[in-house]
Amino acid sequence: MKTELPSLRSQMAPLLFLVGIFFLNFISRIVLSPLLPTVEKDLKIGHEEAGSLFFIISFGYCIMLLGSSFVSSYFNHRRTIILSTVALGVALLSVGISHQLRMVRVGLFTCGMAAGLYLPSGMATLTELVSPKDWGKAISIHELAPNLSFVVAPLIAEMLLRWLSWQGIFTLFGIFSILAGILFSLFGRGGRFCGEPLNVNTLRIILKKPSFWVIMALFSLGIGGTFGMFAMFPLYLVSEQGMDQAWANTLVGFSRISPVGVAFISGWVTDRLGPKKALKVIFLANGIALMLLGAASGLWIVLLIFLQPMLASSFFPPGFAALSRIGGSKFKNIAVSLTIPVSFLVGGGAIPAMIGMIGEARSFSTGFIILGGILLGGAILVRYLKFAKD
């Protein structure tokens, strides 16, 4: 007798539980961005050191994301989610009691490591909960967490700064994360199976594919254009444009609302044009927008701050479509598990650090122009992508 798989509607409660955990996981890593002007003043650091904090988070995230399969193979996915969420809370509490740059760096590195455990086990648990025919919809709901985090993080940070210090905000997120881990251990569903560790032989095969290295470079640029720019926007607006911090964070938060819907349009365009053509258009448009932002002044800056995130967020539908075709069905999971952590390290860590370094030496505007030029190079790099036939 054939077992009927659960419908998406019947699993909505446990799915939303995972969305809530992913939301805390993601917003805890990006809330530093709207707090950065305050952190700079309090720790008496420059733009270069401030930008490097995102590299530290991303480095920890990259390490643990690469090693997450070994953790979930020893425990199971459910326990790995609990471990990730509680450990992230403890790491956030350690940042909350830090008053020296060295301790803040250690705490943020630990935050990145703890957060890196979640995604593979979260996705494995999600796909267990619902029927394969509903995976696309379930993943779309799950992906609301990072999109909403980009919108909410600046607004929440600015609101909480009225009553709390930046350390107090990290402490508050730490408490929420620990509570979420406890609640998931009591009421969460799914994930009671172990993961598979990375296969060395398959790894060797995928690393020999030139297109794998091309797509990794493209993802690094795509993440740099989204997360990397989000990380440095508030500091740029406050320190270089002389904008009030509250208004800067509000502006950045509202600029991230429209990308939530634009991502769906990008998916439709990808189906019509194909991932390679869509990626070329997106890299060209985003590169030009960043270069214009670096050269703009006055109201043009506000317009481009709303336009650039829309173009940048359009990368991910064609990006993931291209990534899924690099190695065929046999190597799809390994290609994803290798591409995302390394690309996040570069795009979410090295690129903000680069912009901060250039901002310290010359100006943030110069950094945006340079990054825009690099993204234009991404449009050329797309032509070297070759997809598997299966």
Token pair in block for residue 48: 């270069």
pLDDT at 196: 65
In the chain, domain spans: 10-197, 201-390
Share of the chain above pLDDT 70, in %: 90
pLDDT, greater one: 189 or 381: 381
For residue range 18-61, list pLDDT tens digits in order.
Answer: 999 999 999 999 999 999 999 999 999 988 888 889 899 989 99
Give the C-alpha separation, 206 to 201, whole Å. 9
CB-based contacts of 66: which residues, under 8 Å, 6+ apart?
337, 338, 341
pLDDT at 332: 54
pLDDT at 18: 92
Confidence of residue 178 (pLDDT cuts 50, 70, 90): very high
Confidence of residue 183 (pLDDT cuts 50, 70, 90): very high
Per CATH, domain 10-197 is 1.20.1250.20: yes
State yes or no: pLDDT of 331 exceeds 70: no
Give the C-alpha separation, 165 to 145, whole Å. 25
> Each residue of 350-377: b (16+ CB within 10 Å) or e?
bbbbbbbbbbbeebbbebbbbbbebbbe
pLDDT at 108: 96
Give the C-alpha separation, 254 to 309, whole Å. 11
The structure's pTM equals 0.79
Q: What is the mean pLDDT of residues 256-276?
A: 76
Q: What is the mean pLDDT of residues 135-154?
A: 79
pLDDT at 264: 66
Contact 308, 286 (CB under 8 A): yes
pLDDT at 278: 87
For residue range 89-143, list pLDDT tens digits in order.
Answer: 999 999 999 989 999 999 999 999 999 889 888 878 887 787 766 765 676 677 7
pLDDT at 1: 41
pLDDT at 177: 97
Give the C-alpha separation, 324 to 79, whole Å. 28
Per CATH, domain 201-390 is 1.10.3720.10: no
pLDDT at 138: 72
pLDDT at 198: 67
Query: What average pLDDT does the structure give for the chain?
Result: 85
Do 10-197 and 201-390 fold alike per CATH? yes
Give the C-alpha separation, 88 to 179, whole Å. 11
Give the C-alpha separation, 380 to 283, whole Å. 9
Quick one: 2 exposed, middle or buried, by C-beta within 10 A (0-12, 13-18, 19+)? Answer: exposed
pLDDT, greater one: 51 or 214: 214
For residue range 218-248, list pLDDT tens digits in order.
Answer: 999 999 998 888 888 888 888 888 888 888 8
Confidence of residue 189 (pLDDT cuts 50, 70, 90): confident
Confidence of residue 185 (pLDDT cuts 50, 70, 90): very high
Instruction: Look up residue 352 and give its amino acid.
Output: P
